Structures are given as structure tokens and as C-alpha cells.
Amino acid sequence: MTYSTLTIRDRVARLNLNRTEVHNAFDDNLIAELNLHLNQLHKLAENGDVRVTVLSSEGKSFSAGADLNWMKRMVDYDLEDNIADSRKLAALMHGLDTLPCPTICRAQGAAFGGAVGLAACCDIVIASDKAKFCLSEVKIGLVPAVISPYVQRAIGNRQMRRYALTAEIIDAVTALKLGLVHQSVPHDDLDEAVDSMLEVLRAGSPQAQKIGKQMFSKVEREPDSSETREYTCQVIAKLRVSQEGQEGLASFFEKRRPVWTSPEEHNNAAEPRS
């Protein structure tokens, strides 16, 4: 069975969950599918064939977290089985978090458990005012372990402690205040808001966005050190003399759109300085 789809048009990839009968809940098959899609997207984004990825789902819910039937099967797993299973989910979160292109999460409804992790791994989360989020694991004797690095990065340690220990429902307004969501819009305006953000992202330099994502992760790990300062100097210097950096500066001073906004023109960008 196919539980998700990947479509690519005009260098925009749309990765869509489609298990509406179980509110797009995760199981081992869906995780395996998503990992295959993400492996493909990493290659396409690295080559410039994908500029932006949108993560979305069908139906009323974004994702209900872990599938109940999958959880029933896991009751009989031993420790090694559980570790192997968890590593696949960890690969999914890491793969989404490190995609070398901007990512948008379109959250139209409930996002529970691991689905909060999916949202936290995306660069931009746009949510319907009907969306709800919940770190629900504690209610069944678990913790949001695999997703915790990404959720805690998004909302901070203090808020993580509260919502992971209480399993309170987080509405769209609260999610916005916490930093889990970047933009909350009326439900009927959700697709328009996603399309508007796509246009904003596609106006930026693909190279700068890719390198920027790598840089932000490194700087986060060690924000103030001589190594980080030298690394950031190297990044900006190399970008300034790169093909896209030269084209970006030229287009700014010439008051025109940069060539990366049109794939056909991209090959005609200025050559880098030696």
C-alpha cells in the first residue's frame, strides 16, 4: 500500500501523507516510504532540481502520531527490535531536518506525538487556526525521545518540559507564541499562505539557502568560538565570489531580478571571480 506521495513541479516538491482513514498516523511502512522519498529529495535538492519542499497531508488531521495497530505490534518487540525501529524514525527526522533546501510544513489540523517532530524539523510551519499540537507520549508511559532535539530547539527547554510532561493540547495561537508555528491563518486561507511563502522562498538564492541551512546548524552547536567565527568568515567570503553571489550583487545594483528566479536564465549567470 502507498501511504504517501511525492510530486515535483516547477522545482517544488510536495511530500504528502495520505492515510486519512487513520488520520495520517505513522507506522513502519509510512516511515520507510518517507525515508525513501527524503533520500530522493536530498539528491534532487543538492543538484538544484528541487528548490523548496512542502510537507502536507490529506484529510482533517495533519497526523495523529503513532498508528495504534503498529503500537500493538510493538508490544511484542524486544529491546533490539525497538532500537532498530526507533533508528528508522530518527533517520526520518534527521533527513527532513537536513534537506538542502527550504522546507514548509502545512498543518491543517491535529498534529500529535511524532507529528510535532515533523513540524519542528521544517524550516517554516504554516498552520490553520484549526490546528492543534500535542506531545502526547507521557499519557501512554512514553516520552517524545526521538523528536526531542528538534522540538526542544523550536520551543526551548522550559516549554518542552511543560508540554512534554503534561501532554496539554497546544492550539494554533499558543503554538505561534511558542515558536513551533511561524504563521497561523484562517483555515480557508491555508493554501494561499503556503503558495505565498513558496514565492518568497523562490526569490532567494538556492545556493545561499542551502549553505545557510548548513551554517545555522553548525553555529547553533557552538555559537561563540574562534572556530565558528572563522567558519562564518569563510562562508560569506566564498559566497561573495561565487556565481550566485556575484549575480545577486549585480542584479541588486542593476535593479533587476536575479537569474535564479528563472531556471532558463540560470545558466547565464556571471562567472565567479578567481
- CA–CA separation, 168 and 110 (whole Å): 13
CB 116 within 8 A of CB 134: yes
The model's pLDDT over 33-89, given as tens digits with 9 standing for 90+, comes to 999 999 999 999 999 999 999 999 999 999 999 898 888 888 888 999 999 999 999
Residue 177 grid coordinates: 507564541
CA atoms within 13 A on the CB side of 115: 30
Question: How high is the pLDDT of residue 91?
Answer: 97
The 10s digit of each residue's pLDDT in 2-33 is 899 999 999 999 999 999 999 999 999 999 99
251 contacts 193 by C-beta, under 8 angstroms: no
Cβ atoms of residues 109 and 130 within 8 Å: yes
Percentage of the chain lying above the pLDDT 70 cut: 95
pTM score over 0.75: yes
Q: Give the model's confidence band at 159: pLDDT under 50 very low, under 70 low, under 90 confident, else very high.
A: very high
Task: Judge contact between 144 and 125, C-beta under 8 A.
Answer: no
Residue owning grid cell 516511515: 31
